[in-house]
Amino acid sequence: MAKAPILTPQAENFPQWYQDVLAKAELADNGPVRGTMVIRPYGYGIWELMQAAMDRRIKAAGADNVYFPLFIPESYLKREAEHVEGFSPELAVVTHAGGEELAEPVVVRPTSETVFGEFMAKWVQSYRDLPLLLNQWANVVRWELRPRVFLRTTEFLWQEGHTAHASREDAARYARDILEHTYADFMVNELAVPVFTGVKTRRERFAGAINTLACEAMMRDGKALQMGTSHELGQNFAKAFDIDYLDDAGQRQHCWTTSWGSSTRMVGGLIMCHGDDAGLRVPPRVAPIQVVVCVVRDGDGVVEAATRVRDELVAAGVRARVDDRVSVSFGRRVTDWEIKGVPVRIELGPRDLAEGNVMLARRGADKTSVALAGVGSAVSSALDELQRELLDEATRRRDAATASVGSVGEAIEAAGEGFARIPWRSLGEAGETELAEQAVTVRCLQMPDGSVPDDVDADGVEALVARSY
Amino acid sequence: MAKAPILTPQAENFPQWYQDVLAKAELADNGPVRGTMVIRPYGYGIWELMQAAMDRRIKAAGADNVYFPLFIPESYLKREAEHVEGFSPELAVVTHAGGEELAEPVVVRPTSETVFGEFMAKWVQSYRDLPLLLNQWANVVRWELRPRVFLRTTEFLWQEGHTAHASREDAARYARDILEHTYADFMVNELAVPVFTGVKTRRERFAGAINTLACEAMMRDGKALQMGTSHELGQNFAKAFDIDYLDDAGQRQHCWTTSWGSSTRMVGGLIMCHGDDAGLRVPPRVAPIQVVVCVVRDGDGVVEAATRVRDELVAAGVRARVDDRVSVSFGRRVTDWEIKGVPVRIELGPRDLAEGNVMLARRGADKTSVALAGVGSAVSSALDELQRELLDEATRRRDAATASVGSVGEAIEAAGEGFARIPWRSLGEAGETELAEQAVTVRCLQMPDGSVPDDVDADGVEALVARSY
């Protein structure tokens, strides 16, 4: 009889597979307060590498990091009508502090447009102060009715960018640059997750935005995950918070602002885009452990040799570690590293060492024998190949599961398996409402060549439709 | 008549000087909710470099980063009697969320011993799981009655380490290692802030600890600032949260835990330890801008030459930028960079360029002329010298302002100017109470050679006494 699988197979129950991977790969636990999460060392290690790679791109886009307070006066939220309406149901409110009831309750930030707005108004005086490009890494809180670790949690970690510009054109260009050159570039090249980029329909826009751009990825169960959004806020917040400037003719003008965010939700996306029935598959660029050097059996200097291999890899810039827990069965350890999705496993036993070889196993591929002297270059190639193959495989799977359709009925049917692509003109807002009744949404609008339309009503726009997380 | 100073002189009003520097160097602002702060790009840039340098040391100490929730059930706080008593007056409480009143209010973490304890109890089973060494970078909230930006804020950013060990000895050794090799080493070698390390008296211990170790620095007004603490928690939290393990004889044992924290308060320490009447002086290792290349006047390729100098410095790993705002007066710009405490200013004008030279001004020192070809090595030397001199100067000032005294009266008098050192046996807990009536506290207890005593009652222990922030 076959061994019982350690993880629930994806085809049998994908949500249960996800829960199993979170636990067995020691990524995260549920926190004690409903909807919160505890991110464990391995999960946090992935997030730290993601954060560093995203932060480099954000700085390259000219934004400076800052830190704004967790607590926002309730009155701030109320200044922008759509914004407060959108966020009110999700707010956590501090009513008591320092042993007393507060005169004005404070809200735990669900996002920070309002408080950034208040200070941008102070810092921006003249056109010379523009654009003002800020970003922060922070925790935010949105009370969730159906929480799921990483995907939808009451508290999550994210970066939120907030910028002010002199013109609508400059704001629109920047919001789009962030989407394409910061977010999509990061997702494709670091996470190996292909994304569709486009604009949201009016129905799906951020509360307070005049245009929302998004990156949408397909998970292995065919559902969509929104991986990041970039919003043109028009002059809505500039008017609510008096963010204005003197132009070069000495006239007072309202700024045009943007905001954009990406979060720990991307960790969930990485898990569900690449993981298989054996466990996680972590793209090498964000893998906390890129190579594990496993001692098969101790003796004849194997541990010392494994340590030397590890040291050489580390010296070459590879995140490598030794597994010399020989009191645990070798098979059990191999299974554990597969569940954790470590890109490359090197196996080293007395016989291999005597022959001057190691076995090298790329996650999910057959083992090959490699001469000790060639380990460095073999590892380097294996990591590059895996990074590329994960992206290629995810792209092939997504494209195969994206159907061009012509009617709402067909779109709903296709959304049972993956994405549907349908002319926005044939769908329209009425069709969007019909879809919503079946829990299917327009993930984004694209031009037929995959580019981002200038706006919702651009000629020839197509809707990408799916069920989503 | 002399020009009015841009900053209030330190000797005139040190607290006002501090406020002036925060504003004029664009470090931070007060947030809209009382006691919160907005950390601006320049202040956050310093914090990011501090964080990176501290994080490297924490990882070198074997701790893994994790992330625990912001919200803690109120009931958790109550499980450790001293802990809840210590923190109750400072708690912020969420009573409403998602539009409803919560069944159990949740507390915004003031520190996370309790929630780490709950999960350590799950993760630790056997002696093989020990020591468990965790750390998180997070925001915490303690409602403050007398808030001051960076020094004492309602919300602050920090790292908090939490570890579990098999024996008291192992926990004590680790808590001390963190104090000496992680914290003090960081403060001395990165921040150029000399610190006294020692143990806290019973009165000054962390709520729930059996021993608190601390790093104490002297500010330029002679007052003390606690820069970091490391606590032995004994088995208090292990018993409250059932953190236990099976030892190698199969017997169930309670763990011994530690916790240790350092925060954005250190930014305040850096400002008040090094700043002078001309502004901040940022130690080169944590300076977001180490070198500013100032274009004196445009023309004759000066901007291009300044850019080349900047590019060469950046290529050599120096954080450098060009100031080519020639529409702002040169004097004003020089003053601004001095207020910001940029370590090295390079001045470049048409005449310098024609002669193949630049002027190099180390913060606070006379300008010297340097050949263009030698800028890289001159900058490198200047940065090293300044890093060393800031530490030397602060150490000399601190030692000159530390008096050995024999009575409570003398200690109070000495604390008007700086620190007093007095045998703990002559002071005692009764003397400590007398000091407290004059707002003077025992900052820490040390051995006469400056080393950390094994405990409060060790033979020959001396008390370091001061007014403090």
- The 10s digit of each residue's pLDDT in B268-282 is 999 999 999 999 999
Residue B2's pLDDT band (cuts 50, 70, 90): low
Residues of A in contact with B325 (CB under 8 A): none
SS3 A411: helix
Q: Do A67 and B47 touch (CB under 8 A)?
A: yes
CA-based nearest residue in chain B for residue A71: B33
Residue (of A175, A181, A161, A177) closest to A66 by Cα position: A161
Cβ(B78)–Cβ(B72) under 8 Å? no
- DSSP helix/strand/coil, A138: strand
Pick the CATH number of B403-466 from 3.40.50, 3.30.110, 3.40.190, 1.10.150: 3.30.110
What stretch(es) of chain A map to CATH 3.40.50.800? Answer: 289-384
pLDDT at A228: 98
Cα(A186)–Cα(A440) distance, integer angstroms: 27
Please, which residues 226-285 of chain A have a Cβ atom closer than 8 Å to chain B? none
Average the pLDDT over B90-111 and give the result. 95
**B30, B33, B74, B263: which to substitute to probe chain A, counting the most A Cβ within 10 Å?**
B33
- Strand-pairing partners, residue B36, are none
- The reply to whether residue B92 touches residue A94, judged by beta carbons under 8 angstroms, is yes
Which of A32, A65, A143 is nearest residue B44 as measured by Cβ atoms?
Answer: A65
Query: B-chain residues within 8 Å CB-CB of A115?
Result: 31-32, 38
DSSP B149-210: TTTB-SEEEEEEEEEEESSHHHHHHHHHHIIIIIIIHHHHHTS----EEEE--GGG--TT-S
Contact B31 A115 (CB under 8 A): yes
B317 touching chain A per CB within 8 A: no
With CB atoms and an 8 Å threshold, state whether B99 touches A93. Answer: no
Which residue of A lies nearest to B118 if distances are taken between CA atoms?
A: A32
Domain A402-466 classification at class level:
alpha beta
CB contact A69 to B (< 8 Å): yes
Is B88 exposed, middle or buried (CB count within 10 Å of its CB: 0-12, 13-18, 19+)?
Answer: middle
Could you give the C-alpha distances from A230 to A212, A269, A273, A451, in angstroms and in order?
6, 18, 22, 15
- The CATH class for the domain spanning B14-274 reads alpha beta
Distance from CA of B322 to the nearest CA of A (A): 15
Q: In terms of CA atoms, which chain B residue is nearest residue A47?
A: B66
Q: What is the average pLDDT across B68-88?
A: 92
Instruction: Give the minimum alpha-carbon distance from B384 to chain A in angstroms, rounded to a whole number.
Output: 27
Distance of residue A215 Cα from the nearest chain B Cα, in angstroms: 26
The chain-wide mean pLDDT, for chain B, equals 96
pLDDT band (50, 70, 90) for residue B364: confident
pLDDT at position B167 is: 98
Would you state the torsion angle of the CA atoms of residues B455, B456, B460, B466, taken in this order, to the nearest 10 degrees?
A: 130
- Best mutation target among A26, A33, A114, A132 (most B Cβ atoms within 10 Å) is A33
The per-residue pLDDT string of chain A (469 residues; one tens digit each, 9 = 90 and over) reads 456 778 999 999 999 999 999 999 999 999 999 999 999 999 999 999 999 999 999 999 999 999 999 999 999 999 988 888 888 899 999 999 999 999 999 999 999 999 999 999 999 999 999 999 999 999 999 998 899 999 999 999 999 999 999 999 999 999 999 999 999 999 999 999 999 999 999 999 999 999 999 999 999 999 999 999 999 999 999 999 999 999 999 999 999 999 999 999 999 999 999 999 999 999 999 999 999 999 999 888 999 999 999 999 999 999 999 999 999 999 999 999 999 999 999 999 999 999 999 999 999 888 999 999 999 999 999 999 999 999 999 999 999 999 999 999 999 999 999 999 999 999 999 999 999 999 999 999 999 999 999 888 889 999 999 999 9
Q: Quick one: DSSP state of residue A286?
A: G
Contact B238, B164 (CB under 8 A): yes
Distance from C-alpha of A31 to C-alpha of B68, rounded to nearest angstrom: 8
Distance CA(B280)–CA(B263), nearest Å, equals 19
For the full predicted model, state whether its pTM sits above 0.95.
yes
Q: Which residues of A touch B44 (CB under 8 A)?
A: 64-67
Supply φ then ψ for residue A268, to 5 degrees: -60, -40
pLDDT of residue B84: 87
Q: Does B99 touch chain A (CB under 8 A)?
A: yes
* Closest chain B residue to A153, measured at CA: B69
User: Which residue reads 């997070």 in tokens?
Assistant: B138
Which pair of structure tokens corresponds to residue B429? 């807990």
pLDDT at B4 over 80: no
Percent of chain B at pLDDT above 70? 99
Question: Band of the pLDDT at B244, cuts 50, 70, 90?
Answer: very high
Q: Which of B458, B136, B362, B56 is nearest to A41 (CA)?
A: B136
What's the CA gap between A71 and B154, in Å, rounded?
Answer: 10
CB A154 within 8 A of CB A249: no
Q: What is the CATH number of domain A289-384?
A: 3.40.50.800
Strand-by-strand arrangement of the A291-295 sheet:
A320-323, A291-295, A344-348, A357-362, A367-371
- A28 within 8 A of A357, measured Cβ to Cβ: no
Tell me, yes or no, if B92 comes closer than 8 A to chain A by beta carbon: yes
Match 């929630």 to its residue by tokens.
B115
Q: Which one, of B160, B162, B47, B113, lies nearest residue A137 by Cα?
A: B47
B177-204 residue pLDDT tens: 999 999 999 999 999 999 999 999 999 9
Q: Which of B37, B65, B118 is nearest residue A69 as measured by Cβ atoms?
A: B37
> B66 to chain A: which residues are within 8 Å by CB?
38-41, 44
Q: Least CA distance to B141: which residue of chain A?
A: A70
Among B32, B119, B134, whose Cβ lies nearest the Cβ of A115?
B32
> What are the respective helix, strand and coil percentages of chain B, to the nearest 5?
40, 30, 35
Q: Which residues of A touch B37 (CB under 8 A)?
A: 69
What are the tens digits of pLDDT across the range B289-332?
999 999 999 888 999 999 999 999 999 999 999 999 999 999 99
- Do B97 and A68 lie within an 8 Å CB cutoff? no
Q: Distance between CA A352 and CA A330 in Å, rounded? A: 15
Q: Does pLDDT of B458 surpass 90? A: no
Chain A partners within 8 Å of B137 (Cβ)? none
Question: Count of CB contacts below 8 A, A vs B?
Answer: 159
Task: Decide: residue A438, CB within 10 A, 0-12 exposed, 13-18 middle, 19+ buried.
Answer: middle
Contact between chains at B99 and A88 (C-beta distance less than 8 A): yes
Is the CB of B23 inside 8 Å of chain A's CB atoms? Answer: no
Q: Kindly list the residues from chain A whose CB atom is less than 8 angstroms away from the CB atom of residue B150.
A: none
Buried b (16+ CB within 10 A) or exposed e, A296-321: beeeeebbebbeebbeebeeeebbbb
3-state secondary structure of A441: strand
Closest chain A C-alpha to B222 CA, distance in angstroms: 30
Which residues on chain A are in Cβ contact (under 8 Å) with B69? 31-33, 36-38, 155
Do A232 and A221 meet the contact criterion of CB atoms below 8 Å apart?
no
Interface predicted TM-score (ipTM) of this complex, two decimals:
0.97
pLDDT score of B46: 98
Contact between residue A418 and residue A468 where contact means Cβ atoms under 8 Å apart: no
- State whether B38 and A119 contact (CB < 8 Å): yes
* pLDDT tens digits for range B111-160: 999 999 999 999 999 999 999 999 999 999 999 889 999 999 999 999 99
Are B465 and B420 a contacting pair, CB within 8 Å?
yes
Q: Do B66 and A39 touch (CB under 8 A)?
A: yes
CB contact under 8 A, B39 and A139: no
**A316 CA: distance to closest CA in chain B (Å):** 19
Which residues in chain B (37-66) have CB-CB distances under 8 A to chain A?
Answer: 37-41, 44-45, 47-48, 64-66
Q: Which residues of A touch B105 (CB under 8 A)?
A: 96
A74 touches chain B (CB under 8 A): no
Tokens, residue A381: 């190639």
In chain A, residues under CATH classification 3.30.110 are 402-466
d(CA A228, CA A159): 10
CA distance B288 to chain A (A): 11
pLDDT tops 60 at residue B370: yes
Cα nearest neighbour of B153 on chain A: A69
Contact B155 A40 (CB under 8 A): no
Portions of chain B given CATH number 3.30.930.10: 14-274
Contact B33 A118 (CB under 8 A): no
Supply the DSSP symbol for B367. Answer: E
Q: So what's the pLDDT on residue B1?
A: 46
The interface residues of chain A toward chain B in range 128-187, judged by CB-CB distance below 8 A, are: 134, 138-139, 141, 143, 145, 154-155, 157
User: What is the Cα A73 distance to its own chain's centre?
Assistant: 29
Distance from CA of A71 to the nearest CA of B (A): 7
pLDDT at A3 (0 to 100): 64
User: How many Å apart are CA A351 and CA A354, to the nearest integer?
Assistant: 5
B356: closest CA of chain A, how far (Å): 32
Check B93 against A94: CB less than 8 A apart: yes
Q: Which among A38, A64, A71 is the nearest to B41, CB-wise?
A: A64
Reduce the DSSP state of residue A35 to 3 states and report it.
coil
Contact flag A38-B93 (C-beta cutoff 8 Å): no
